[in-house]
Amino acid sequence: MSAVVEPLFCLFGLGLLLLVVMAFASPLEALGWWSGWSRRRSSAARPSDQPALPLPHSDADYFLVYLTAIGGISAEDISKRERAFLAELQRQVPNAEIIQDVFPFSVTNNPLNGERQLGWLWQKIHNSRMKRRGGFVATLIFVRNLLQVAVSGDPRYGPIYNVGVAREIGLSLLRHGYQPGSGKPITVMGWSGGGQIAVGVVPYLNQALDAPVYVASIGGVITDDPGVAYAEQVLHLQSSKDKFPNICDILYPGRWPFVRYSAWNQALQDGRIHTIDPGPMTHTGRGDYFDYRATLPDGRTHGQKTAALIGQFVRQQALPAAA
């Protein structure tokens, strides 16, 4: 018996130790970037260090930024169903510029397989996951990114983390032709853990670009981040089959209904948070919000329904008078 139990305990202990080490390391990327300790060239944490860019001008009326979920290793490496969803969303809102080049789980938009000491390791883990051989090791990507969500939602680290991601989103918006002060609405969409980052960046985008910022959360796991106070409107899509987002209702006091003056509850009272059940969808995997095979009773695929709801949310946003 002990021949089975002891190795299991040993494995459990090692797993726990690894988790603690990863948790300790989780705020260091953001803190290293902010303090200037990081050696990465793009880590220059002063806006004035950014060279002036030859910026294009976009005629788009709406700017949408998509932030992937905690399974991602980079902004480019999103799943086929996410791409299909974004293409459908573009059809829903043809006059929108959809941006998907920001990796929300790095304060410097540095993919896990990018310029990092352990970049090769993350790539290896990702490769084995793609071949469905990853098993336990593949969950390290989820754990690593989940810890970044916790950093974003932590009042001590959140401002630094979120302003870093907001800077990357802001630069991407400028590269895609967004004109600061134009009043054109920006919608930050986040799936799962990306939902928290989407809320976290709102105040900084709002202030830095003089822009009305909206949030579309797709099964978003959102903490009691004060950023929600700066959002014009929040659309929160959550299926009755998806219980993951409910975890924040328990873990974060600002989400408790009787904490009436929290930013979240104030936004609820102001009618700025709209929760919609898009139908029976799972949080991730087969039958999730982006599934383009699973269909609803009305014949639409999950991805089509999600895109339709977000498209409607975007089209309802007020445009500046001149636009």
Q: Which residues contribute to the site for another protein (CB under 8 A)? A: 20, 23-24, 26-27, 31-32, 34-37, 45-48, 50, 52-53, 55, 57, 147, 150-151, 153-157, 159-160, 163, 166-167, 170, 174, 179-182, 203-204, 207-210, 251, 322
User: Please, which residue, 14 or 55, has the CB nearer to another protein?
Assistant: 55
Q: With respect to another protein, which residue has the nearer C-beta, 230 or 289? A: 230
CB of 225 to another protein, least distance (A): 12
- Least gap, CB of 155 to another protein (angstroms): 8
What is the C-alpha radius of gyration for the chain, rounded to an integer number of angstroms? 20
Nearer to another protein, 71 or 170 (CB): 170
Decide whether 22 or 87 has the Cβ nearer to another protein. 22
**Residue 7 C-beta: closest distance to another protein, Å:** 28
User: Please, which residue, 308 or 323, has the CB nearer to another protein?
Assistant: 323
Chain-centre distance for alpha carbon 213: 15
Number of residues that this document lists for the chain: 323
Angle between helix axes 28-35 and 158-175 (nearest 10 degrees) is 70
Helix ranges restricted to H, the chain: 2-25, 28-35, 80-92, 119-130, 135-153, 158-175, 193-209, 247-251, 263-269, 302-315
Identify each DSSP E strand in 43-95 by its residue range: 62-67
Sign, CA dihedral 223-85-101-173, equals negative
Close Cβ partners of 203 (under 8 Å, ≥ 6 residues apart): 162, 226, 227, 229, 230
> Please, what is the minimum distance in Å from the beta carbon of residue 12 to another protein?
19
Closest distance to another protein from the beta carbon of 48 (Å): 6
